[in-house]
Amino acid sequence: MGYINKQRNILDFTLSSLGRRKGKNLALVAVYTFVIFLLASVLFFTHSIKKEASLILQDAPEMTVQRLVAGRQDLIPKRYIDSIRKIRGVQSVAPRLWGYYYDALSGTNFTLMANKDLKDRVGEIIIGSGVSWRSGTGKGKKAIRKNDIIPFKTYDGSALPLKVKGILSFSSELVTTDLILVSETDFRKIFAIPHDHATDLVLQVRNSKELATIAAKITQRHPDTRPILREEILRTYDAVFDWRGGMIIVVLSGAVFAFIILAWDKATGLSGEEKREIGILKAIGWETSDILLMKFWEGAAVSLSAFFMGTFLAYLHIFLSSSILFEPVLKGWSVIYPHFRLTPYIDAYQIATLFFLTVIPYTVATIVPSWRSATVDPDSVMRM
């Protein structure tokens, strides 16, 4: 009981003491909260995107085969299909036709993809929801609806009007927003792609353990190809949203360092007044450890406040306001972007890391400089 009472007594004094410089301490908490808010926002965002990607791309093609010509991806001849199909373990090989289409009317790049369900429905398209609100023409920018016509321009400049027969669901926006699904016939008509070529090939294998062997055989038979495994796709998304790698860390570390300097200055530059107080406390019967305990509570009070508020606000920011502050970066130069609401995936380990990276150093930075003052001889007050 005595121990708890002591902690509470000393905490009482610490809080009274902090209350004296209310403005300064509140400003400090505010800045610290903001830094933690930014850090936590980045953590939440990247972790959720990563998690989402790892969930929904699990059903991406097991293997995609591209052909490279002079270092660039090029159309792949359909005759590769037969030779790849003959490799033991390959279950099926299918050509994909996809590419980018620039729509001069709306100034937007769309992803055009041939779809086998539309094979016999020449002249019809299915569009992603981003396309529907973006490609509406005219000043009013009315969203495109079912049975509207979108005029396409083919490779030779002639017009090809295609009728919207469906809009992909809003909830699939994260993967489909800029997508336009067309029939193979229309796709070849727009881009003048010869019938014996495809954009790339996707294949399924009987046993996923053999993927690497099959990929090796493909590159052996066709040295100009590049197989991309699903595992690599998943790994790419894992690496691409590693927040430590992004530029964001450069920007953030600027903020963090500025804060460290501020905190260091505040914590280390014990004022004459504070030193005098420590002397008084020692003289009237406080031990060195009591002084350090007081300083511990001081650092803990400031940094815990900032941690709780910063983390909570970051959660609201990312998952309830759809990362409104990151919007300029997320949209970037894009003309079309998904309006997705991220599913909140949070990682207790990350929150713990954030805790240890923010609360602990600040608390230590508060205690350490007072160490020296706390060991002054108590009689120094008598000589003042």
Report the site for another protein in 295-354 (rule: CB under 8 A): 301, 304-305, 307-309, 311-312, 315, 319, 326, 328-338, 343-346, 348, 351
Distance CA 220, CA 250 (A): 42
Burial of residue 310 (number of CB atoms within 10 Å: 0-12, 13-18, 19+): buried
Q: Verify binding: residue 8, another protein, rule CB under 8 A.
A: yes
Query: Is 58 within 8 Å of 166 (Cβ atoms)?
Result: no
Structure tokens given for 260? 């460290």
26 part of the interface to another protein, by CB under 8 A: no
Instruction: Tell me if 205 contacts another protein by CB under 8 A.
Output: no
Of the CA atoms within 13 Å of residue 49, those in its CB half-sphere come to 23
Q: In this chain, which stretch among 78-86, 144-152, 212-220, 263-271 interacts with another protein, using CB under 8 A?
A: 212-220
Q: What are phi and psi of 75, to 5 degrees?
A: -65, 145
- Backbone phi, psi, residue 128, to 5°: -75, 160
Based on the shown chain and the rule CB under 8 A, indicate whether residue 109 belongs to the binding site for another protein: yes
Q: Compute the Cα dihedral for 324, 326, 331, 337 and give only its sign.
A: negative
User: CA-based angle 175:178:181, to the nearest 5?
Assistant: 90
The DSSP symbol for 3 reads H
State the minimum distance, in angstroms, from the CB of residue 138 to another protein.
22
* CB of 266 or CB of 303, closer to another protein: 303
Among 89, 111, 197, 256, binds another protein (CB under 8 A): 111
Q: Residue 57's Cα: distance from chain center in Å? A: 16
Among 31, 228, 256, 270, binds another protein (CB under 8 A): 228
Give min distance, CB of 66 to another protein, in A.
7
Decide if residue 210 touches another protein (CB under 8 A): no
- The site map against another protein for 135-164 (x = CB under 8 A) is ------------------------------
- How buried is residue 121: exposed, middle or buried, by Cβ count under 10 Å (0-12/13-18/19+)? middle
Interface segment toward another protein; rule CB under 8 A; list 107-115, 139-147, 152-160, 258-266: 107-115
Single residue of 89, 123, 246, 361 touching another protein by CB under 8 A:
246
Interactions with another protein, residue window 257-296 (CB under 8 A) = 273, 276-277, 280-288, 290
What φ, ψ does residue 186 adopt, rounded to 5°? -65, -40
Question: Which of the ranges 135-143, 147-155, 226-234, 260-268 carries the binding residues for another protein, by CB under 8 A?
Answer: 226-234
- Residue 73 CA to its chain's centroid (Å): 27
How many residues interact with another protein (rule CB under 8 A)? 127
Query: From the list 61, 144, 189, 298, which residue makes contact with another protein (rule: CB under 8 A)?
Result: 61
**Beta-carbon-side half-sphere exposure of residue 21 (alpha carbons within 13 Å):** 14
CA–CA gap between residue 205 and residue 61 (Å, rounded) = 10
Q: Which is nearer to another protein, 117 or 261 (CB)?
A: 117
Region near another protein per CB under 8 A, out of 65-73, 84-92, 145-153, 256-264? 65-73
Closest separation between CB of residue 13 and another protein, Å? 6
* DSSP string computed for 80-113: HHHHHHTSTTEEEEEEE-EEEEEETTTTEEEEEE
How many C-alpha atoms does 140 have within 13 Å on its Cβ side?
Answer: 3
Binds another protein by CB under 8 A, chosen from 25, 132, 135, 176: 176
Binds another protein (CB under 8 A): choice among 53, 125, 144, 198: 53
